[in-house]
Amino acid sequence: MKQLQLIGFLLSAALFGVVASCQSGGSEVVTPAPVPGKPDMKPPVVYQTTPYPWKKPTNFPDPVYNFANNPLTLEGVALGRTLFYDDMLSVNGTVSCAFCHQQPAAFAHPDHALSHGVNDKIGTRNNLGLQNLAFYKNFFWDGGVADLDLLPIAPIENPVEMAHSMPNLLNAVRQSAKYRPLFQSAFGSDSVTTARFLKSLSQFMLTMVSANSRYDKHARKEAGGQLTSDELAGLNLFQQKCSSCHAGELFTDQSFRNNGLSRVLNQDVGRYGITLRTEDKFKFKVPSLRNVARTPPYMHDGRFWTLNDVLNHYTTMQEVPELDPVLRQNGKPGVLLTDPEKQQIIAFLNTLTDTAYIADRQFSAPN
């Protein structure tokens, strides 16, 4: 009996060994071929990153950005911040992202109607301030880029902005002694790939959340959220007259609309240039109004220098065929507002300035 057990045991052990050897032989055959250019899959160097504690403001909608594909780390954010402030991102080393996106102006470009690039080249549109980028479905006035990770390539390669080429730039970053340790600590090796470069820039930009204006504190019923009677009247008027487009806590519904700007001097087709749909001609993204008092001039071509000018446009606009229906009341273009009402709306818009964001050192140039 004992011997029978031994036989059984020996048999099963032998069979198991045969089956196991079969499997290991088979697995070699189905190993997929490596993808050319894919970041190497060697065992990672031992390194330790610290997760960045990104938080959605309680009064905000859910973010659009897919954080699962790019988990934020303090090290990744630090690398992105260094890149954001680095002049080497432009072809002649004179223009960084921060050149046109300045913190005191909520990362817009003050005193510039149109974007200003290398060798004093001038673009065709007014740059937008940067904030709350995790919440946007697409970027630029025409919504041309829908993925934050792909966004930086556009200004870097635009001949009237940074005028660089990505392969040359990535090679320069590879050769930079400054960046080797930054990539090492963010990603575990100093290999500079397209994805790492772009995702670290995204990481920094995703941390740029602005949600601490006086209005936000009012909305969240926090201390410091007191609004004056004029500001409250302005908020009320804003909700009646402006919030069908500048909707929600982002102060934009992210749609593309025509707001009745004269085309005598500027025939920019806007969203049409991306979609080629006739109905998108002369439409532009409804911009967020957060920090709006800090980001003059206004409109896609920077034609208005004050908020007063903007509101005057809405009350005096002339008919254009593509005008958004919401801006046409009883067959007439424009929004009805008295001068005192305009001042109340401006008083309210000023409560959207987030002074903590503008002063926050985690977003300023690294030492």
Partner 1 sequence: MRRLFLSLSLLTAALLAGFLACNTNDPEAARPPAKFGLDFSNVVGTQPLQLGTVAYKNASGESFTPTNFNYFVSNIRLIRTDGSAYVVPQDSSYFLIRQTDPATQKITLNNVPEGSYKAVSFVLGVDSLRSTADISKRTGALDPAVDHTGANGMYWSWNSGYIFMKLEGTSPSAPRDATGRGNFRYHIGYFGGRDTKTINNLKTITVSFGADVAQVDPFRQPAVQIQADVLTIFDGTTPISIKAYPEVMISPFSATVAKNYAGMFSYKGLKTAVTD
The footprint of partner 1 (CB under 8 A) covers: 3, 6-7, 10-11, 14-15, 17-19, 21-22, 25-26, 28-29, 32-33, 35-39, 66, 69, 137-138, 140, 144-147, 149-150, 153-154, 156-158, 165-167, 170, 194-195, 197-199, 273-277, 280
- Which residue lies nearer to partner 1 by CB, 95 or 358? 95
Q: CA–CA separation, 114 vs 186, rounded Å?
A: 35
Q: Is 43 exposed, middle or buried (0-12, 13-18, 19+ CB in 10 A)?
A: exposed
- Which residue lies nearer to partner 1 by CB, 148 or 307? 148
Residue with tokens 């303090």: 74
- Which residue lies nearer to partner 1 by CB, 25 or 331? 25
- Our CA dihedral for 345, 351, 355, 356, rounded to 10 degrees, sits at -140
Tokens linked to 32:
């997929």
- Which residue lies nearer to partner 1 by CB, 151 or 323? 151
Residue with tokens 């008919």: 319
In sequence order, the 6+-apart residues with CB closer than 8 A to the CB of 22 are none
Q: Smallest distance, Å, CB 362 to partner 1?
A: 24
Q: Smallest distance, Å, CB 314 to partner 1?
A: 26
Q: Smallest distance, Å, CB 2 to partner 1?
A: 10
Q: Which of 249, 245, 248 is nearest to 258 (CA)?
A: 245
- Which residue lies nearer to partner 1 by CB, 199 or 313? 199
Q: Smallest distance, Å, CB 290 to partner 1?
A: 22
Q: Is the peptide bond before 155 cis (omega within 30 degrees of 0)?
A: no
Q: Smallest distance, Å, CB 353 to partner 1?
A: 30
Tokens linked to 323:
């005008």
